[in-house]
Amino acid sequence: METLEAIASRQTIRQFDDRPVSQEEVAILIRAGFAAPSNNHLRQWHFLSLVDLDRRRQLLDQVIHPLDRKGSQKVIDNWGMQDATQREMYLDAIPLQYSMLLSAPVLLIPLFDQLGSVLHPETLSGLNAFASIWCCIENILIAAADQGLFGVTRIPFPEESKIVKEALHIPATFEFPCWLALGYPAPQARRAQQIAIDPLSRLHIDVW
Ligand SMILES: Cc1cc2nc3c(=O)[nH]c(=O)nc-3n(C[C@H](O)[C@H](O)[C@H](O)COP(=O)(O)O)c2cc1C
C-alpha cells in the first residue's frame, strides 16, 4: 500500500476476526512505532502484549464493566452530546469496550517513561513524553492498516490504570496512555461514519 493510502484506510475497528496475528507481524508494527519522533531522542517505550486469554479476561473483569446501548445513551445524554454522527459512534463504541479488548488477537499496553506527573505538567514540554508515545501509537496504527490490520485505542480510567499497573508489575515511572487492540476485522465489523472535513476550510493563510 502507498503511504497516503494506508493513512486514509486506517479506521477504528472494535470487532475482530479469529485469524491470529503472529509475533513477527507484531514486531513489524512495533518497529514502525519506533520510527516515530521522540522528544528526548531516547524512545523510552515498552509494550506489554497480553497473550494469555485467561489472564487477560481476569484482568478485564476487574476493570471494565461495559454498559448496554440504553446505559450508553444515558451517559451521552448526560454529556449533552448533540451531533448525531458523534452520538452514533459513542452508542456503538461504549457497549464494545470489554469485548473489543478480550477478543482482539493482539492486545498491547504501550508504556512510556514519565518524569514527573503527566496530569499536572508545569509547561507544555512536561507533556512531551506523552505526546511522543502517541506519535508511536499512530505509526503503529498506520503500519497495521498497511498490513490489513485494524484496531482501537482505549483510554484507561484512573482506577483502571492503577489496577493494571499493579497486576502487570509495570515499573512505577512508566505510564500507560491507552490499551491498543489490533487484529483483522470481523466480516460484520462496524465502522463509524466519518464527519467530512474540507482541509482547506481548516487552513488559515498568514492570519486566522
Ligand atoms: C486519544 C484517543 C482516545 C480514544 N479513546 C477511545 C476509547 O476509550 N474507546 C474507544 O472505543 N475508542 C477510542 N478512541 C477511538 C475513537 O473513537 C476513534 O478514533 C474516532 O471515533 C474516529 O474514528 P476512526 O478512528 O474510525 O477514524 C480514541 C481515539 C483517540 C485518538
Nearest CA to ligand 1 atom 29: 153
Residue 136's pLDDT is: 98
Nearest ligand 1 atom to the CA of 90 is 17
Q: Is the CB of 32 under 6 A from ligand 1?
A: no
Q: Alpha carbon of 187 to those of 83, 95, 97, 134: distances in Å?
A: 28, 19, 19, 29
What is the domain range of residue 68? Answer: 3-202
Distance CA 39, CA 46 (A): 16
pLDDT of 1 strictly over 70: no
Determine the angle formed by the axes of helices 128-146 and 23-33, rounding to 10 degrees: 130
Q: Alpha carbon of 128 to those of 19, 21, 44: distances in Å?
A: 36, 31, 12
Q: Is residue 80 in some structural domain? A: yes
Nearest CA to ligand 1 atom 5: 154
Instruction: Please give the DSSP secondary-structure letter assigned to residue 196.
Output: P
Mean pLDDT, to the nearest integer, of 193-207?
96
pLDDT bracket for residue 115 (50, 70, 90): confident
Q: Is residue 208 in some structural domain? A: no
Distance CA 163, CA 175 (A): 12
Mean pLDDT, to the nearest integer, of 46-68?
97
Nearest CA to ligand 1 atom 19: 12
Residue 68's pLDDT is: 95
Residue ranges of E strands in 5-105: 45-49
Mean pLDDT, to the nearest integer, of 98-127?
93
Q: Is the CB of 15 under 6 A from ligand 1?
A: no
Better-predicted residue by pLDDT, 100 or 119: 100
Mean pLDDT, to the nearest integer, of 173-197?
96
Q: Is residue 180 in some structural domain? A: yes
Q: Is residue 207 in some structural domain? A: no
Domain count, the chain: 1
Q: Is residue 184 in some structural domain? A: yes
CATH at residue 91: 3.40.109.10
Q: Is residue 34 in some structural domain? A: yes
